[in-house]
Amino acid sequence: MDTWSTLWETFFDGDSMREALPEMLTVGLPNTLILAISAALLGSVLGMALAVAGISPTRWLRWPARVYTDIFRGLPAAATILLIGVGLAPLGMEVWGPNPYPLGILALSLIAGAYIGEIFRSGIQSVEAAQLEGARALGFSWGEAMRLVIIPQGVRRVLPAWVNQLIALIKDSSLVYFLGLVASQRELFRIGQDYAATTGNESALLLAGLFYLALTVPLTHAVNWIDRRLRQGRSVTVDPDDDGGLALAGETALPPSPTAGRDQR
């Protein structure tokens, strides 16, 4: 057998792929989705808490949020997953038995939370201070103003970055195999790896890769789509004027110039 056909069979052996496919579909894909979606939800909730704490006027909220973010953004994902998943395993054993998923999801969420927190924070901080002032002037408390006015605008601005983080989560979910998975707990990567080991070629792993791409590539395009929509949504198209009796001929849209402020401090 020449080198090329060896290489071909290493990656594109149809039999190996066919053998792995049913388990990938029925076990691997659902497990990967469970890991990624749970961690995305938990990570986003945690991220929002970190973002709000990070911009809070209270030092005792700001400071812990910073330290947390530095640690979980700074550690390799593999190290965090092992430290949490193995380190807390005795505790997990008592609470939910010998299932590595809760701790795996926890570790993934803690990591994602650090990144998502920074994403949300940058979005929230990009909202003009005038918006907060406008909301406070109506009688909203700081918390209400943040929740109803500032955060919805800030999050919208960073949706593309948030989706990028979901893509990273789908990929990082493969790392929970470190924690030791029984057959029914295996996610896409582990199943691919196992079949690769038994068939002696990498085709099953390549198939796992295709599954990942089937999840992530549409998401990357979703990012682009959201990005484009946000940009276009911001452009101004003015309805024909209808001033109901107030004679204001010639009114045209004038997006307020940021430099127009006089007397602004």
Candidates 135, 163, 188, 206; binder of another protein (CB under 8 A) is 135
For residue 241, CA distances in Å to 192, 233, 234, 249, 252 come to 62, 20, 20, 8, 8
Among 187, 163, 160, 27, which residue's Cα sits nearest to residue 105? 187
Query: Between 29 and 135, whose beta carbon lies closer to another protein?
Result: 135
Cα–Cα dist 50/224, whole Å? 26
Query: Between 182 and 248, whose beta carbon lies closer to another protein?
Result: 248
C-alpha angle 52-58-62 in degrees, rounded to nearest 5: 55
- Minimum CB separation of residue 146 from another protein in Å reads 13
Candidates 124, 149, 179, 196; binder of another protein (CB under 8 A) is 149
Is the separation of the CB atoms in 47 and 120 below 8 Å?
yes
- For 257, the 3-state DSSP assignment is coil
- Minimum CB separation of residue 245 from another protein in Å reads 6
Residue 15 touching another protein (CB under 8 A): no
Q: Identify which range of 25-33, 94-102, 149-157, 217-225 contacts another protein by CB under 8 A.
A: 149-157
- Minimum CB separation of residue 48 from another protein in Å reads 17
Q: Identify which range of 14-22, 178-186, 188-196, 238-246 contacts another protein by CB under 8 A.
A: 238-246
Residue 260 touching another protein (CB under 8 A): yes
For residue 195, CA distances in Å to 179, 190, 198 come to 19, 9, 5
Query: Between 1 and 248, whose beta carbon lies closer to another protein?
Result: 248
Number of H helices, E strands in the chain: 13, 0
Interface residues with another protein (CB under 8 A) are 130-131, 133-141, 144, 148-149, 152-153, 156, 234, 236-239, 241-257, 260-265
